[in-house]
Amino acid sequence: MTDIVAQAQASERAIAQAEKPEALEQARLDALGKKGWLSAALKELGGLEPEARKQRAAQLNEIKDRLSGALDAKRGALEDAAINARLAAEKQDMTLPLLDGAENLGRIHPIGQVIDEITEIFAAMGFTIAEGPDIEDDFHNFTALNIPPAHPARQMQDTFYLPPREDGEQMVLRTHTSPVQIRTMRSAQPPHRIVVPGRTYRSDYDMTHTPMFHQIEGLVIDRNIHMGHLKGVLVEFCKAFFETDKVKMRFRPSYFPFTEPSAEVDINCSREGGVLRVGEGDDWLEILGSGMVHRKVLEHCGVDPNEWQGFAWGMGIDRIAMLKYGIPDLRAFFDADLRWLKHYGFVPLDIPTLGQGVAR
Amino acid sequence: MKFTLSWLKSHLETDASLDAICAKLTAIGLEVEGVTDPAAIFKPFRVAHVLKADPHPNADKLRVCLVDTGEGEPLQVVCGAPNARAGMKGVFAPVGSTVPGIDLTLKAATIRGVASNGMLCSEREMGLSDEHNGIIDLPADAPLGAPFASVMGLDDPVIEIKLTPNRGDCLGVRGIARDLAAAGIGSLKPLTVVATTGMYDSPIKVRRDFPADAQDACALFVGRLIRGVKNGPSPAWLQRRLKSIGLRPISALVDVTNFFTYDLGRPLHVFDAAKVKGDIVARLARPGEKLLALDGREYTLDETMTVIADDNGPEGIGGVMGGEHSGCSEATTDVFVECAWFDPVRTAQTGRKLGIHSDARHRFERGVDPAFLHDGMELATRMILELCGGSASIVEVAGDEPDWSRRVAYRPSRLLGLVGFDLPVARQAELLRALGFGVSEADERLQIDVPSWRPDIDGEADIVEEVARLAGFDLIPATPLPVDRAVPLPAVNAAQRRARLARRGLAARGLVEAVTYSFIRRADAALFGGGKDDLQLVNPISADLDAMRPSILPGLLQAAKRNMDRGFGDVALFELGPQYADQTPEGQSLVASGIRRGMSGPRHWREKPRNVDAYDAKADAIAALAAAGAPVENLMVMDGAPDWYHPGRSGTLRLGPKVVLAHFGELHPRVLKTMDARGPLVGFEVFLDRIPAARAKSGRAKPALKLVEYPAVERDFAFLVDAGLAVDSLLKAVRGAEKALIARVSVFDVFAGNNIEPGKKSVAISVRLEPQDRTLTDAEIEAVGKKVVDAAAKACGAVLRA
């Protein structure tokens, strides 16, 4: 009897002292294995009297349960220790810097971004986008727009010319997006409601002029459209584009050969501290030229001016991009300086929509 | 157009403030560009009384003055002027003021041991003239402490307006006054013309000699001789008026012509009659005729230009500039005055050809009042007689007043119809009459007679604009556009949508969008298939920007070079824009193009950068096409990239053998050398216009997806093939070996050298089998493997490596 108790105590000691899974397994085999002392003791039960056998069996089972429990607990503790040791060994320095993902490296040029913003806003007012060629003929760029042959705008110092063709026609780089008005009206019946973003060209170079720049033309032709609608459209546009309900707008009488009456449009701004802020203050800043489409222009397009009328405007995309995003020099737009593009450009996933706001 | 407030008020009776006048000018379309108050820089300077002027104890030429400035205690001022004396009135500049003529801010000083608090100023110090022999000696009655500017008459604000080219009538101060009066700022003063009766027939006669098709070149010529004049400096008021707007007074006779040019928009010319030989003839120039003009330059004339000539030849270029030879000088005693009307278009063309921008040209090309020649002559005569004396001849006239009369039938309802606000008919008529229009009622309409000075008015819309601008464009309401559907249709078409998607797709690959000029250097264009004569600009802004670009790549290459020069050697740029094959609209195409230069990224502990290569460009091109919605799964990669690419490291992406959607590859080393750019440099060009339109579908529904439960199997094969084999053909053969089972074939290793026999390469591929209706048995997998090996051997001579 004492033999069993002593052996159980020895086994318990061996389990408690095991530091590795192998030692623990040895302790298990010594006690509970086929050749272990407990298994041997159990085999001896058959030789005992029934009463003594019952008593002896209970004692052995109690020892077996105790040892099994101790083994499980010790095994768990050893596994925990092992995994903790592994985790400690696997530690990495999470402060190491990583590379930017491509989606954060790429940029959309401010012109592309602003065209997308403008498109969103005019789409909501039922406009569609129209386009036309950069190399235009005299008819579309000048004549159809009621710009007579001797008009200063046709002269060399403003307009880029290509060599005359064999038929005598001399093509120009379009000086405005207005020829697309003509192309639109000559290719489809009214009503029309379009905006035309695109490249335009004039022979000029300084802080605010580059030989290539971008305009967005607007044209609405319908019955009973008047300058009030022009003002309505532009007010809504400026509110949405500059993200302020405070923007004030001023129409000033002006002159363009292709509109009558004509107006230049100013928005209010402040120039306090040399910083230009749109929609604040009492200063005015010209942003576009506009007017009611001249009846001669409609006639050139085969549109009956007694039935149809409407308005057009032309606005500098680069210019309003400069205003909105505080970009100082127009020339830098076309220099492809990576530092400039990274700074003033937009990440590709910043897609302007009216639903989430046209700008971030 | 510049004028001063007092000049304006010589035509306009008004109490309105300068601010109110300027606001109204802008509101009626005469945009104020700037107002300069010449008094502003003189603000600190006031009339002072010199109480004492004692000798300086330590300097012979200096005086110590006691100056009463009109404020506070008299100040001690050390002054070096010889005319400084007790009792005089002078101009005092206090400590802290900036003296404009010498741009010096005064401080309290000690001059040779004597304190000096301010300065008594000379004309030069005030910036008025070069006079520096003494300080300004004001009249004794100049009020003590009064602003110096008002005492000197220097406080007349100068207003500059930007005129639109249709408003030639406002190139005279009187026209501006008329517009303001009509808009409710005061009333227009009457202009009194008193004719001078000629005392004798002019010995110089006037003729017009034009061919039938150029009769309007100089439709009317009015001239007059004034004998016995004395030409000299013009009076102070006239000099001041001219100086106030930046004109230089010359002599009374010349100043009179300049005055009327600006006062009434009526250019005149004066000839020294002694230098005129024979009669005066207005005619077209003879080719090659020369004239030394008043600007001191000699001009060679041609047969499209109008000249005023005498027996000596041209004496002036009609409407543009007079000649030096017959110009007036101080010695002139007999003057012949010209008041003529020149055709706007011809004048503009002449001026442009000769490069002369004169005040006369500026007005004639915008239209000078054709009914104001006789009055203009009489007003000029009167002023010349007043200033220079003499006696006037009977007026010489050649030609007739051009017919300027125009009548517009105007429906007053068009005001509401065009600008969206209305005014009573009577009010509209009142505004028009105030501008000089004749208004009479006829039926539903108004008959509007356009005044002679408004050649820009020729239709109802013009009348609407006149009424609306005087009433104020602020009255235009902001009216919402009519809406025909609450949620509008898309604004962009399929092509525009493709372009927008390609732009975002390329940027999402880390490329930075650039916008470069559509014109580039011709030599660069030639390297990229362009540089042809028909796309050379006739008048480029610089020699570097003279050819329409045949490709976007050269512009991006130059941009890469600029960035490299700034120390940024790793460049990833793209541009989405036009390129040009010829002058036609069809010759312009929309291209997404990009370049990568240098390393794939910065040196980094985790991702080792490598040189960019043609495969990067290929990936960019495919990404752009995929983003744009092209069927990239059907793309064929073929040779045939144009010769600005490395022939062995470039390719084309095609749909079928003919439709080239993109070029990509390493740029040709010769191109880089010619453009002085260093590689590695790769690029691509994606032709967005060539992407076929998506097939019209009946709906947006995607095809049904069949998900099967049977396990997929992957098997690897390593083949030995000829080194020159296009791996694509191997993949195609393998895919075709068992189409029903092979879902994907990928290449996971390609290498040559080492233990591979020369002329061969090893290509390792992984084949994924996805059975649709059963789990594959080992035998079946084995059978597919054999088919793969057989197909590879048959199509490419590939041998399975042991």
What confidence tens digit (pLDDT) does each residue in B87-108 have? 999 999 999 998 888 888 999 9
- Give yes or no for a contact between B780 and B792, defined as CB atoms under 8 angstroms apart: no
Q: Which of A138, A180, A226, A268 to mutate to test the interface with B (most CBs of B within 10 A)?
A: A226
Across the interface, do A135 and B580 touch by the CB < 8 Å criterion? yes
CATH, range A108-350? 3.30.930.10
CA B402, CA A178: separation in Å to the nearest integer?
Answer: 34
- Average pLDDT for chain B: 93
Q: Which of these ranges, A160-174, B29-43, B359-373, B587-601, has the smallest mean pLDDT? A: B29-43
Q: Which of A96, A107, A165 to mutate to test the interface with B (most CBs of B within 10 A)?
A: A107
Residue of B nearest to A226 (CA): B418
Across the interface, do A252 and B473 touch by the CB < 8 Å criterion? yes
> Buried (b) or exposed (e) across B28-64, using 16+ Cβ within 10 A?
bbbbbeebebbbebbebbbbbbbeebeebeeeeebbb
Across the interface, do A341 and B513 touch by the CB < 8 Å criterion? yes
Using alpha carbons only, what angle is made at residue B122 by residues B119 and B128, rounded to the nearest 5 degrees? 125
Across the interface, do B489 and A152 touch by the CB < 8 Å criterion? no
Phi, psi of A197 (to 5 degrees): -85, 145
Q: Which of B162, B357, B513 to mutate to test the interface with A (most CBs of A within 10 A)?
A: B513
Residue of A nearest to B457 (CA): A260
Q: What residues of A are in contact with residue B515 (Cβ under 8 Å)?
A: 109, 111-112, 333-334, 336
Six-digit token string for B372: 């104001």
Across the interface, do B480 and A203 touch by the CB < 8 Å criterion? no
Residue of A nearest to B540 (CA): A160
Is the complex ipTM more than 0.95? no
Average pLDDT for residues B579-601, to the nearest whole number? 97
Residue with tokens 């039960």: A45
Q: What residues of B are in contact with residue A173 (Cβ under 8 Å)?
A: 518, 537
What is the length of chain B?
Answer: 802
Across the interface, do A229 and B481 touch by the CB < 8 Å criterion? yes
| The pLDDT value given to residue A152 | 66
Q: Residue B704 contacts by C-beta under 8 Å, 6 or more apart in sequence?
A: none
| The pLDDT value given to residue A360 | 66
Residue of A nearest to B481 (CA): A229
Across the interface, do A107 and B512 touch by the CB < 8 Å criterion? yes
- Give yes or no for a contact between B262 and B422, defined as CB atoms under 8 angstroms apart: no
Q: Residue B191 contacts by C-beta under 8 Å, 6 or more apart in sequence?
A: B11, B174
Name the A residues in 101-130 with CB < 8 Å from any B CB.
102-103, 105-109, 111-112, 116, 119, 122-129
CA B461, CA B268: separation in Å to the nearest integer?
Answer: 34
| pLDDT tens string B699-754 | 888 889 988 889 999 999 999 999 999 999 999 999 999 999 999 999 999 999 88
| pLDDT tens string B662-700 | 999 999 999 999 999 998 999 999 999 999 987 777 788
Across the interface, do A99 and B568 touch by the CB < 8 Å criterion? no
- State how far residue A201 is from chain B, nearest Cα, in angstroms: 9
Residue with tokens 């499980």: A72
SS3 content of chain B, % helix, strand, coil (to 5): 30, 30, 45
| Residue of B280, B388, B270 lying closest to B327 (CA atoms) | B270
Band (pLDDT 50/70/90 cuts) for residue B27 is very high
Q: What residues of A are in contact with residue B604 (Cβ under 8 Å)?
A: 99
| The pLDDT value given to residue A356 | 87
Q: What residues of A are in contact with residue B562 (Cβ under 8 Å)?
A: 335-337
Q: Say if residue B158's pLDDT is above 80.
A: yes
Using alpha carbons only, what angle is made at residue B376 by residues B375 and B379, rounded to the nearest 5 degrees? 85
Q: Say if residue B788's pLDDT is above 90.
A: yes
| Ranges in chain A, pLDDT < 50 | 1
Other CB atoms within a 10 A radius of the CB of residue B583 amount to: 21
| The pLDDT value given to residue A273 | 82
| The pLDDT value given to residue B535 | 97
| pLDDT tens string A220-248 | 999 999 999 999 999 999 999 998 888 88
Across the interface, do B509 and A152 touch by the CB < 8 Å criterion? no
Chain B contact for A308 (CB, 8 A cutoff): no
Radius of gyration of chain A (CA): 43
Please give the C-alpha separations between residue A105 and each of A109, B79, B510, B573, in angstroms, as whole numbers: 13, 69, 5, 11
Residue A230, SS3 per DSSP: helix
pLDDT > 90 in chain B, percent: 82
Across the interface, do B562 and A337 touch by the CB < 8 Å criterion? yes
| The pLDDT value given to residue B461 | 95
Kindly report the pTM of this predicted structure: 0.87
Q: Which of B366, B504, B689 to mutate to test the interface with A (most CBs of A within 10 A)?
A: B504
Q: What residues of B are in contact with residue A334 (Cβ under 8 Å)?
A: 515-517
Q: Residue B521 contacts by C-beta under 8 Å, 6 or more apart in sequence?
A: B543, B544, B545, B546, B547, B554
Radius of gyration of chain B (CA): 42
- State how far residue A88 is from chain B, nearest Cα, in angstroms: 22
- State how far residue B471 is from chain A, nearest Cα, in angstroms: 11
- State how far residue A84 is from chain B, nearest Cα, in angstroms: 27
Chain B contact for A311 (CB, 8 A cutoff): no
- Give yes or no for a contact between A280 and A246, defined as CB atoms under 8 angstroms apart: yes
Cα B716 to chain centroid distance, Å, stands at: 66
Q: What residues of A are in contact with residue B573 (Cβ under 8 Å)?
A: 336, 338
Across the interface, do B606 and A99 touch by the CB < 8 Å criterion? yes
Across the interface, do B588 and A135 touch by the CB < 8 Å criterion? yes
Across the interface, do B545 and A211 touch by the CB < 8 Å criterion? yes
Chain B contact for A270 (CB, 8 A cutoff): no
| pLDDT tens string B481-492 | 998 888 999 999
| pLDDT tens string B289-337 | 999 999 999 999 999 999 999 999 999 999 999 999 999 999 999 999 9
Residue of B nearest to A296 (CA): B459
Six-digit token string for B672: 């880089």
Residue of B nearest to A337 (CA): B563
Q: What residues of B are in contact with residue A175 (Cβ under 8 Å)?
A: none
Burial class from Cβ neighbours inside 10 Å (0-12, 13-18, 19+) for residue B430 reads: middle
Residue with tokens 């007679």: B449
Across the interface, do B568 and A152 touch by the CB < 8 Å criterion? no
Angle between helices A21-32 and A2-17 (to 10 degrees): 170
Q: What residues of A are in contact with residue B576 (Cβ under 8 Å)?
A: 112
Q: Strand A128-129 relative to strand A192-201: parallel, antiparallel, unpaired?
A: parallel
Across the interface, do A253 and B503 touch by the CB < 8 Å criterion? no
- Ordered by start, the domain boundaries in chain A are 2-90, 108-350
CA B525, CA B576: separation in Å to the nearest integer?
Answer: 18
| B483-490 contacts at long range (C-beta below 8 A, 24 or more positions apart) | B483/A126, B484/A126, B485/A126, B488/A123, B488/A124, B488/A125, B488/A126, B489/A126, B489/A128, B490/A123, B490/A128
Paired with B119 in beta bridges are B93
Across the interface, do A261 and B464 touch by the CB < 8 Å criterion? yes
Six-digit token string for B708: 């099967």
Q: Which of B31, B304, B476 to mutate to test the interface with A (most CBs of A within 10 A)?
A: B476
Across the interface, do A226 and B416 touch by the CB < 8 Å criterion? yes
CA B479, CA A349: separation in Å to the nearest integer?
Answer: 35
- Give yes or no for a contact between B225 and B335, defined as CB atoms under 8 angstroms apart: yes
| Residue of B384, B404, B406 lying closest to B393 (CA atoms) | B384
Phi, psi of A192 (to 5 degrees): -125, 145
